[in-house]
Structure 1
């Protein structure tokens, strides 16, 4: 299992938190996604054999938020 912290712009409330976490948990291989609104970050635990950073970034962007690279 791998863990990554992704900086995300555009999250400002509980709904945003839930939307990002839900989008990431729908990616195959993701076991946990935890948003920290104050830090504007999401910590994702995932199986590197099933998914990668590109898919995680795409899921966040498809949910309407911006990944800060």
Structure 2
């Protein structure tokens, strides 16, 4: 289950558990996929613990779109 924190209008932070990341290429692939979406402010994929921290504007991008981008890159988001 993703952990989400809403910082009021214009910004939310979420931590997603992502399986399948095992190297720096995986980190880059996930970060690039998410950064390509509108409204993404910051992305940090951590191979060590399989988590991805995302800061985003929920008026421009949804959690579903972020999840889909990660899954389209070939990784599985734990729900």
TM-score range, shorter chain: over 0.9
Q: Could you say what secondary structure the match of 1:55 adopts?
A: helix
Q: Structure 2: give runs of 5+ residues left out of the alignment.
A: 1-10
What CA deviation, in whole Å up to 9, does each residue of 1:6-50 have, x standing for no partner? 000000000000000000000110011101111100000000110
Unaligned runs of 5+ residues in structure 1 are none
Determine which structure has more spread, i.e. the larger CA radius of gyration: 2
Runs in 1 of length 4+ with deviation above 2 angstroms? none
Aligned residues: 69
Greater RCO (CA < 8 Å, at least 6 residues apart): 1
TM-score (norm 2): 0.85
2:61 aligns to what SS in structure 1? coil
TM-score, structure 1 as length reference: 0.97
